Amino acid sequence: MSTFEEIQQREKKVLFQTYARYPLAAVRGKGARLWDSEGREYIDLLSGIAVTSLGHCNEEVTRVMCDQAATLVHVSNLLYQENQVRLAERLLTTNHFDKAFFCTSGAEANETAIKLARRYMQCVRRNGAFEIITFENAFHGRTLGTLAATGQVKLQEGFAPMPEGFRQVPWNDLAALEAAITPQTAAVMIEMVQGESGIRPVTPEFAKGIEAICRKKNVLLIIDEVQAGLCRSGRFWCFQNFDIKPDIISCAKALANGLPIGAVMATDEVAQAFPFGSHGTTFGGGPLLTAVADKVVEIMIRDQLDKRAARLGTAFLARLREVACKHPDKIKEVRGLGLLIGIELTAPGKDVWLKLIEKGFVLNLSHDTVLRLLPPLIIDEADLNAFADALDEVLA
Ligand SMILES: *Cc1c(COP(=O)(O)O)cnc(C)c1O
């Protein structure tokens, strides 16, 4: 096997240089542990960005993956597939929606949600509405449509022109939202916890207020659950923390614990906007992906991983806040919901982040100042406490 330096040099030669990679090459994983090319062991507090929620190489998931790989991997959405039906049935027991559509990524799920909202307005209500309202610092993906929804100038640089029909309003400003809605507005789209931009949960008032405005103005409410969904927030779906009922949700990341699958769910009222031939995708919800996702969802429900995320998250947040109290000059704020946790530093944190990697923790640094933690939901509390101790040491 190649050394880390060899892998680094080969990568530079042949891969698009789109990623500022971490100083390690992962070769093996088990549960919350990762091992790199040099044989070093890490506690994984990133989970492939909120993907491997059941831990690496979960035995039950691996068994389903192998069995299904030997039975049927892909056909086409032109054929009936019971695995897809079974996954939809199970997913729909976790929320108030009636129908599901499967695709292959978060961006594609959001793109689908946007298309669905527009088509609902244009073909069911026949009012011609098309505009999607999103929030500052949102992240909805990197296809052109979702990049327009994301709205961040930094991410859009060089990709002009953006598709039309998107408008952004400030976070936590209900008056601005209400003022932005016009007869052309089709939907409001939001992450209940802004993930990529440093773990910013909505306040309960903001969440309830958004729902009330959408109802009053008769526009759809789309919740992007790509990162926060599937138990991570302490409820099965993040919106369920806020006692609201969106019209459409998108999800992806953790759905098949590492295989690429996304989903959109909606009420029957909205789902009727996609009749035969109006939307589709080649890989979406194939037999292998849906067999694995069905096992993932089954385990999440059976093991009540939502409750586990809530319990671990509450304890971990409290522990991190103790560390923050000891270092008020270094830590500005600790925030989060369930096992979506952000530690905002008072200054750019690249050194702190690198030292934590050296100490054996894989985690993300978001927007230069926020240590972002998305541990697997099966992690032991001892691993989280070990991180808190390590952070305390690094900051001392
Ligand atoms: C990751 C993410 C996306 C994009 O998902 P991809 O699978 O990378 O396309 C969209 N929305 C949110 C909230 C995300 O965290």
For residue 161, say if its preceding peptide bond is cis, omega within 30 degrees of 0.
yes
pLDDT digits (tens, 9 = 90+) for 153-209: 999 999 999 999 999 999 999 999 999 999 999 999 999 999 999 999 999 999 999
Q: 242-276: per-residue pLDDT in tens? A: 999 999 999 999 999 999 999 999 999 999 999 99
Residue 125 and residue 102 in one domain: yes
For 83, the 3-state DSSP assignment is helix
| One domain for residues 124 and 207 | yes
Q: Cα–Cα distances in Å, from 129 out to 32, 94, 150, 210?
A: 46, 30, 20, 19
Percent of the chain with pLDDT over 90: 99
Confidence class for position 1, pLDDT limits 50, 70, 90: confident
Is pLDDT of 352 > 90?
Answer: yes
Does residue 95 share a domain with residue 48?
A: no
Q: Which two tokens stand for residue 243?
A: 């006692």
Strands 99-103 and 41-44: unpaired
Pocket flag, ligand 1, residue 105 (CB < 6 Å): yes
Residue 46 falls within a domain, yes or no?
yes
Pocket test for ligand 1, best of 155, 196, 225, 255 (most atoms within 8 A of CB): 196
Residue 63 covered by a domain: no
Ligand 1 close to Cβ of residue 107 (< 6 A): yes
Question: What pLDDT is stored for residue 150 in this prediction?
Answer: 98
Instruction: Assess whether 294 and 317 both reside in one domain.
Output: no
User: Is 133 inside a domain boundary?
Assistant: yes
**Mean local confidence (pLDDT), 43-63:** 98
Residues 233 and 86 in one domain: yes
295 with 308, same domain?
A: no
Mutation choice for ligand 1 from 47, 51, 110, CB with most ligand atoms inside 8 A:
110
Q: What share of the chain is helix, strand, coil (3-state, %, to 5)?
A: 40, 20, 40
pLDDT of residue 256: 98
pLDDT-based confidence at residue 62 (cuts at 50, 70, 90): very high
d(CA 43, CA 81): 38
pLDDT digits (tens, 9 = 90+) for 104-160: 999 999 999 999 999 999 999 999 999 999 999 999 999 999 999 999 999 999 999
Question: In this structure, is residue 87 part of a structural domain?
Answer: yes
Mean pLDDT of the chain: 98
Which of 302, 328, 360 is the C-terminal boundary of a domain? 302
Both 268 and 185 in one domain: the answer is yes
Residue 93, class by beta-carbon neighbours within 10 Å (0-12 exposed, 13-18 middle, 19+ buried)?
exposed
The answer, yes or no, to whether any atom of ligand 1 lies below 6 A from the CB of 234, is no
| Prediction pTM value | 0.98
Same domain, yes or no, for 279 and 139?
yes
What is the average pLDDT across 292-303?
Answer: 98
**Domain end (from 246, 268, 302):** 302
Reduce the DSSP state of residue 266 to 3 states and report it. strand
**End-of-domain residue from the set 255, 275, 302:** 302
| Any ligand 1 atom below 6 A from CB of 290 | no
Taking the C-alpha atoms of residue 308 and residue 310, their distance in angstroms, rounded to an integer, is 5
Same-domain pairing of 170 and 317: no
Q: Count how many domains the chain has.
A: 2
Residue 240, domain extent? 72-302
Q: Same domain for 142 and 272? A: yes
Please give the pLDDT value at position 385.
Answer: 98
User: Which of 192, 203, 266, 264 is closest to 228 using CA atoms?
Assistant: 192
140 within domain boundaries:
yes
- Domain presence at residue 64: no
Question: 88 and 180 in one domain?
Answer: yes
Q: Are residues 156 and 258 in the same domain?
A: yes
Section 325-329 average pLDDT: 98
Strand order in the sheet with 331-337: 331-337, 340-345, 370-373, 364-366
